[in-house]
A and B are shown apart, each in its own frame.
Chain A
Amino acid sequence: MESVVITITSGKGGVGKTTCAANIGSALAILGKKVVLIDGDIGLRNLDIVMGLENRIVYDAVDFIEGRCRLKQALIRDKRAAELYLLPTAQTRDKSAINAGQMVRLCDEMRGDFDYIIIDSPAGIEQGFHTCLAPANRCLVVTNPEVSSVRDADRVIGLIEAAEKGPAQLIINRIVAARVKRQEMLSTEDITEVLSTPIIGIVPEDENILTSSNRGQPIVMNGKSPAAMAFQDIARRITGEDIPLQPLRASGSLLQRLFSRA
Chain B
Amino acid sequence: MNIFKQLFGSNNTAETAKQRLRFVLIHDRAEIPPGLLELIKDDIITALSHRVPVDREGVVVQFEQHNNESRVLVDVPLLVLNGERKSVRRKA
Contact = CB atoms under 8 A, between A and B. Distances in A.
Interface stretch (B1-9, B26-34, B65-73, B75-83): B26-34
Nearest to A76: B35
Nearest to B24: A54
Interface in B7-34: 11, 13-14, 16-17, 20-21, 23-24, 28, 31, 33-34
B35 A55 contact: yes
Contacts of B17: 213-215
Nearest to B33: A57
Tier of interface size on chain B:
10 to 19
Contacts of A92: 28, 31
Interface residues on A, range: 10 to 19
Contact of B13 (A49, A60, A91, A214): A214
B64 interface: no
Contacts of A211: 11, 13
Contacts of A56: 34-35
B38 interface: yes
Given A49-B24, A91-B28, A216-B20, A58 B33 contact: yes
Interface of A: 49, 52, 54-60, 91-92, 210-211, 213-216
